[in-house]
Amino acid sequence: MIATSCMLLSKFYVQVMEKNSPLTDEHLYFGFLGTLLWLLGNLIHIILNRPPEQFQGGSKNMNAFLGLDYYATFLLGIAHLAFPQVVLLKLFRYTAIDGLHTHTTRLLGTMLIASALLSQAAREFTYDKDKQAVLLGRVLIPVLQLFVILYHHAALEALTVHQVLWMCGTLVGPALLNATLGIFMNPVKPPRGDKKYD
């Protein structure tokens, strides 16, 4: 699924950057649609054929939220790392993009990928309390990002409403919503007989 999703990202990049190409329509219908159907087929196959002993410990619901966080954050990191121009063009439509913007966007992409790998590794943790700690970290980072974004918009007037909405909708919102739902829908009780969590 990760490889197919990365293919979709690259096809989206071609679609955005080559708007006047004569191959754009064929690329959209055959390349993009075919890859999307392939991704949906893989997803259905994974859901229908998941082995029951896949999870080492903890609740399956918590693992599902961590898996979704891994998938979404990893793809967002790949987009920032591989296609910084598209991300910056969507964010700063009327500003000249230089090497510093591109480099900073790629650095953000590597941070997102590292965070995604942590979410994937957390699925193997034995205790739900440890998994919840990872999700709490995934809540804290977007909240801090949201504070910085709103401060730049309200106090410094450095960001427009469009830029704030774009950043909240892509960078902050999905991770914050998924992690918050994962925490509140899976209340953690300490395991019995473990003094570590008493």
Q: Report residue 41 as tokens.
A: 């087929």
Taking the domains of the chain in order of start, what are their residue ranges? Answer: 1-50, 60-190
d(CA 10, CA 75): 11
Rounded mean pLDDT of 58-78?
85
| pLDDT classification of 198: cutoffs 50, 70, 90 | very low
d(CA 172, CA 114): 16
**Which residues are CB-contacts of 62 (< 8 A; sequence separation ≥ 6)?**
128, 131, 132, 135, 182, 186
- pLDDT digits 0-9 by tens, 98-147: 777 788 888 888 888 888 888 888 888 888 888 888 888 888 888 888 88
CA distances from 161 to 15, 47, 57, 78, 157 (A): 26, 39, 44, 26, 10
Q: Residue 114 belongs to what H/E stretch?
A: helix 99-122
**Better pLDDT: 161 or 14:** 161
Residue 29: predicted pLDDT: 67
pTM exceeding the 0.85 threshold for the entire prediction? no
d(CA 126, CA 55): 9
User: Nearest-CA neighbor of 39 among 9, 65, 64, 14?
Assistant: 9
**Which residues are CB-contacts of 126 (< 8 A; sequence separation ≥ 6)?**
56, 57, 58
